[in-house]
Amino acid sequence: MPVERKAGEGGGAVVGFRPLYRQVKERLVRRIAAGEWQAGRIIPSEFQIAAELSVSQGTVRKALDEMTAENLLVRRQGVGTFVASHDEDRILFQFFKLTRDDGGREFPDSQVLAVERARANAEEAARLSLARGSHVVRIHRLRSLGGAVAISEHIAVPAARFPDLERSEPVPNNLYGLYGGRYGVTVARATESLKAVPCPEADAALMGIAPGMPVLLIDRLATDLDGQEVEWRVSLCRTDRFHYLSDLK
Amino acid sequence: MPVERKAGEGGGAVVGFRPLYRQVKERLVRRIAAGEWQAGRIIPSEFQIAAELSVSQGTVRKALDEMTAENLLVRRQGVGTFVASHDEDRILFQFFKLTRDDGGREFPDSQVLAVERARANAEEAARLSLARGSHVVRIHRLRSLGGAVAISEHIAVPAARFPDLERSEPVPNNLYGLYGGRYGVTVARATESLKAVPCPEADAALMGIAPGMPVLLIDRLATDLDGQEVEWRVSLCRTDRFHYLSDLK
DNA sequence: TAGTGGTCTAGACCACGAA
DNA sequence: TCGTGGTCTAGACCACTAT
């Protein structure tokens, strides 16, 4: 692998130092981002990658280690290394934090109420870093846990990255799986901001609770491998029989 | 380092396999738990530890890597490796998730309203895994962010692990620092369970908000290096000007 | 300049899963 | 049985910090 720069060479001041394994890592991440390595598929062995990039196997391993720690890859001893996919387990434990009070974790059902394509309003454009006049696809759905409606969810994504999403029939329950599988868009990270708010009348009616009852408002911004905003999602959650689980380590 | 067991030896069925670096890690964690290595202090170099345990430096490094990833250690290149302490930054970014809506992060002030020692009630005993009749120390305090009261907080800890805590004058703002510094109790992890609830009258009066207003209830159970419950804390948080930040990776 | 952690390499062997 | 990832070692050199 052609090393980008080396300290002590060239005589110029060394602005920074980028370890070889990080250069390797970036190239491999780019392969996933470009769709060259697809979600769920196996990638070449450590030795194959090392040979291809003219780098030692240990260096490749360190790159893969970091990518595994970031949930981009999944290793299976004796089998190989795979590109992480947004299967039910990953969504459930990595991206879905609402849990039944009795402790049972399950993936919520979805009932889609509306899907539309429209020009982004000011807030959507700002949150998704879109140019004026860009379009978004909006989805409104209800989600149930243990048979009871628990969440009223409004979603907005850039229409340009998800062509014809509004014509999907039906909209699948696992949206991140769709983003990856059909559009090659990998949701790598998300930031959630939580508030307790009085439930608006419309959502209260849909969820079968009294208007004004305290609900948990989750404002989530999801980004792809390049840090680009991919989805803005606002979820109103009942927390009378559910709670949001957060582990601090 | 005496290796615990080795696969293929002794003829018996190999129940499990514990890598050497994990055995090293456990011994080192125990040193922190026992107070042999104190919070904020430097630990011996990788080569010194390796020599002492008759293990290669690479194996020690892997153990230290994991401990660093778990926020038990902090490495400083060119200087050495240190036992992590609950300083302001760590509390702020690892254990305190409430943020001003304008994005500014700060460590909250505290105003202690009450400290008492008493027999644990049923719920405290259950949450802290205490025997019947055990004592707890309870602390009730208000916490402010940006000059405004934001949190009403009830804390319970096992009195046995924190002797004379109720006679501390004053109770410091950074409790986890006190737990570690004075009592040698390291808070390693915490689990938070969040709900939106109507604010009880008493807390509403203290926080200067209308009773019944939705507030965020954070139920936190903190555990030490051995997984033992160390503190149960229930915080009621205003979220009209603040929000709880959660990063999903 | 000395000492620490950080990177990179190379090779040996082990545990695991699939064929 | 084979190929994969996982562990362990050993040694060289680099970057960073304190003195």
The 8-class DSSP code of residue B53 comes to: H
Nearest residue to B192 via CA among B167, B155, B217: B217
Q: Give the pairing of strands B189-198 and B42-43.
A: unpaired
Give chain B's domains with CATH numbers.
20-83 (1.10.10.10), 88-244 (3.40.1410.10)
Q: What is the pTM of this model?
A: 0.93
| Residue at A138: amino acid letter | R
B108 in Cβ contact with B150 (< 8 Å): yes
Which pLDDT belongs to residue A17? 81
Residue B9 pLDDT exceeds 60: no
Tens digit of each residue's pLDDT (9 = 90 or more) over A135-145: 999 999 999 99
Closest residue (CA) to C1' of nucleotide D18 is B79
B111 in Cβ contact with B119 (< 8 Å): no
Which pLDDT belongs to residue A143? 98
Task: Give the rounded distance of the alpha carbon of A88 from its chain centre.
Answer: 13
- Residues β-bridged to residue A137: A117, A157
Q: Residue B35: how many CB atoms within 10 A of its CB?
A: 13
Candidates B68, B90, B192, B193: best to mutate against A (most CBs of A within 10 A) is B193
- Residues β-bridged to residue A246: B192
Residue A34 and residue A48: Cα distance in Å, rounded?
A: 20
For the record, the structure tokens of B82 come out as 């240190």
Residue B91 and residue B69: Cα distance in Å, rounded?
A: 16
HEC string of A132-153 equals: CCCEEEEEEEEEEECCEEEEEE
Which pLDDT belongs to residue A34? 95
Residue B142 and residue B154: Cα distance in Å, rounded?
A: 9
Tens digit of each residue's pLDDT (9 = 90 or more) over B176-209: 999 999 999 999 999 999 999 999 999 999 999 9
Average pLDDT along chain A, 249 residues, taken 10 residues at a time = 46 63 96 96 96 96 97 96 93 94 93 97 98 96 95 98 94 95 96 98 96 98 97 98 96
Residue B198 and residue B196: Cα distance in Å, rounded?
A: 7
In this complex, the answer to whether residue A77 has its CB under 7 A from any atom of chain C, a nucleic strand, is yes
Q: How many CA atoms lie within 13 A of A91 on its CB side?
A: 17
Residue A192 and residue A90: Cα distance in Å, rounded?
A: 17
Give chain B positions within 8 Å (CB) of A224: none
A136 in Cβ contact with A130 (< 8 Å): yes
Q: Which of B94, B188, B196 sits opposite A215 (nearest CB)?
A: B196
Residue B137 pLDDT exceeds 90: yes
Give chain B positions within 8 Å (CB) of A99: 193
B217 in Cβ contact with B234 (< 8 Å): yes
Helix H or strand E encompassing A89 = helix A88-90
